[in-house]
Each structure stands twice: as C-alpha cells, then as structure tokens.
Amino acid sequence: MTFNVPNSLTALRLAAVPVFIWLYASGRIGAALAVFVGAMITDWLDGVAARLLKQFTRIGAALDPIADKLLGASAMGALCFTHRLPWWLFGVLMFREVCIFSAIAILDRTGRSYQIRPTRFGKYSTAFLSATVLFAMVQGARGEGVTPAEIALALVAAQCILISWAQYLAIFIELMRGPPQSA
C-alpha cells in the first residue's frame, strides 16, 4: 500500500471498524458514536487531502469505498441487531451492494471496461444512511426509544438506495451492451 496522507486516513477508517463494533457491542454507545463520527471525518479529509495534495493512487481508489461500506454496514448491522433500526433497511442496503459487486465481477469476467463512479442517488443514499445511523446512535446514546423520525429517515434512505440500485443497473446494462475490450 502506498502510504500518503489520503491512504493513511483510509487505513485509520478501516482500523476504526473493529473498534466501533467492540465499543457498540460493549454498550459504550457514546464512545462508538465518537469513533463513527471520527471515521466520517477521516472520509471527508482523505478526499480533501487527495485533491489538495494531488495524491491519487489505485489502492486508495479501491480501499476508500471499501472502508466506507465496511463502516456503514457495521454500524447498520449493529443498530439493526439492537433493534434501533429495522432489518429491512440492512437487507435493502446489502441487496444493492451484492448487485454492484456482482456486476463488477461480471464486467471483469467478460472483459468490459468501466469506471466506478458514484451516482447522484448513490451519494444521496450515503448521506441519508449516514444521517439515519447518526440519528439512531445519538438517540440510543441518550437512552431514547425508536422514534418516528428514525423510521422516516430509514424510509428515505431506502428509497435512495433503491433508486441508486436502478441507476447502477442501467449503467451495467449499457456496459454489457457494448463489446468487450480486445486483449
């Protein structure tokens, strides 16, 4: 791995995942929330650092979304396991992620080139999922029960996830219609 500022921040985010899980599972919701927020800040900072320092690497481009997905899925899974969020939201998220990874595998296997770029609704789903997770964790740290606002955020996040899935599906279909790259 190329060690530069953005990649180091991504590595910190990856290291935060087991720490977050351990803290949350230990009932230290406030501390888990602090780790989650810190990891979200490193996500923002690594993008800023990459642009300002012009430190773009292939490994960074690959690890950044993996770190995001691991942290988000861990937080979502923990919140669903403790009934802070509904399991169907986790299921919708995992469905989209499995579809995306399957599409990438199919494109690779069939020799088609592609660039992984988030769609607008992919960004919206990330934003609403983050807001949902943060709100649920804050409510949990305060000892509050599940609120209608949490469910409303979960519904909006699910809609964005499903729309982004449809966008990625359309991109995949378009790429599959094109010819494979010649070797």
Query: Are residues 92 and 48 part of one domain?
Result: no
Residue 57 counted as domain residue = yes
Q: Which domain holds residue 38?
A: 1-64
HSE of 52, CA atoms in CB hemisphere, 13 A: 9
Query: Are residues 117 and 48 part of one domain?
Result: no
- Give the torsion through C-alpha atoms of 26, 28, 5, 133, to 10 deg: 100
pLDDT at site 156: 96
Question: Is residue 100 a contact partner of residue 168, using CB atoms and an 8 Å limit?
Answer: yes
Number of structural domains (the chain) is 2
Query: Are residues 58 and 121 part of one domain?
Result: no
Token output for 100: 């995306």
Query: Are residues 111 and 171 part of one domain?
Result: yes
Query: Are residues 174 and 103 part of one domain?
Result: yes
Residue 95 counted as domain residue = yes
Tens-digit pLDDT profile for residues 125-170: 988 998 999 999 999 888 888 899 999 999 999 999 999 999 999 9
Query: Are residues 172 and 103 part of one domain?
Result: yes
Q: Pick from 14, 37, 64: which residue ends a domain?
A: 64
pLDDT at site 183: 53
